[in-house]
Amino acid sequence: MSTPFNPEEQPQQPQQPIQPSQPPAPQQPAPQQPAQQQPPAQQQPPQYAPPPQPQPQPNYQAPQYTTPQYAPPQYQAQQPYAAAPSYAQYAVPGVPGPGEPFDGATSPDDLTRPLYGATFSQAIRRFFKNYVNFTGRASRSEFWWVELFLALVSLVPMVFYIIGLITITVSSSSYDSSYGYSSGSSAGVGAGALFLGLGGILLLVIGLGTLLPYLGIMWRRLHDINFAGPFYFLTFIPYVGGLIVLIFTILSSKPEGRRFDRR
């Protein structure tokens, strides 16, 4: 049976083989032509500016000063100063002073405590204020300043006493056994007796006036070295008693002597 003819069907033409494409040939760069050299520009001669004109000098004028007028300074009222701070006195440990352990006086007017490091005037004033005081203590400086004072005071009557003795001695040597005393020797003996009596009276007054205060300060000095006051009576021991008490007065203070202070 014959196949009907389909006009849409066309016979397929055979495909031709695809030839491989060849890469394009590399392009050779065109030779560069040397750039045309331009002729050098013509150099122009340098142009110089005209020199600057001199500037006119400034006209300086001397400054005019006016006489300053001074006004009297005004002082503000001075502010009152505050009282100087009082610093407590501190004692070096083991050395007599107002603090511990000796508990000395902080003021010369305090008679209930010993004044360590007292001056001459302070010691004499305290000596007479403590006239018959046998309690408490007296520092070594107080005691020895008083000893010096009594020695100086005793010099005046001692001078009168010595002058009287010398005058009487000289007048007595002019005695003549034939005529007895001459008028000159009698006057010398009288003057010597006057000086001798005056010196003796002054010594007696000074001795009686300072006996009780001297016993008091001796008593207090013994207290300061922790000895009882009656040790003073050791002075009545012949030869050595006075030396023993003298050594006692030279000894340094002891804190244990506070037991004799007035409570």
pLDDT digits (tens, 9 = 90+) for 1-54: 445 544 444 444 455 555 545 545 545 544 455 444 454 445 555 565 555 565
Q: What are the tens digits of pLDDT across the range 220-244?
A: 999 999 999 999 999 999 999 999 9
More confident residue, 105 or 26: 105
Q: Which pLDDT band, with edges at 50, 70 and 90, does 210 fall under?
A: very high
More confident residue, 101 or 30: 101
Q: Which pLDDT band, with edges at 50, 70 and 90, does 193 fall under?
A: confident
- State which amino acid sits at residue 59: N
* DSSP symbols for 88-99: PP-PPTTS-SSS
Sign of CA dihedral 215, 217, 222, 223: positive
In the chain, what percentage of residues exceed pLDDT 90?
35
CA distances to 38, 39, 42, 259 from 45, in Å: 21, 18, 10, 124
Phi/psi-derived region of residue 176, left when phi > 0, alpha when psi is between -120 and 50, beta in every other case:
beta
- What is the spatial distance between Cα 34 and Cα 98, in angstroms, rounded to a whole number? 120
Preceding amide of 85 cis, omega within 30: no
Q: Region 113-139: what's the mean pLDDT? A: 92
Q: What is the pTM of this model?
A: 0.58
By residue count, the chain amounts to 263
pLDDT of residue 124: 94
CB neighbours of residue 157 within 10 Å: 19
- What is the spatial distance between Cα 132 and Cα 214, in angstroms, rounded to a whole number? 9
Residue 211, pLDDT above cutoff 60: yes
pLDDT of residue 102: 76
CA contacts within 13 A on the Cβ side of 125: 11
H helices of 89-139, in order, are: 120-129
Residue 87, burial from CB neighbour count under 10 angstroms (0-12, 13-18, 19+): exposed
Could you tell me which residues are beta bridge partners of residue 176?
180
Which residue's structure tokens are 């066309």?
10
Residue 216, pLDDT above cutoff 90: yes
More confident residue, 193 or 220: 220
- What is the spatial distance between Cα 137 and Cα 228, in angstroms, rounded to a whole number? 11
Domain parsing of the chain, residue ranges: 120-260
Q: Which pLDDT band, with edges at 50, 70 and 90, does 213 fall under?
A: very high
Which residue's structure tokens are 């032509």?
33
pLDDT of residue 34: 45
Residue 121, pLDDT above cutoff 90: yes
Residue 135, pLDDT above cutoff 80: yes
Contact between 116 and 97 (Cβ < 8 Å):
yes
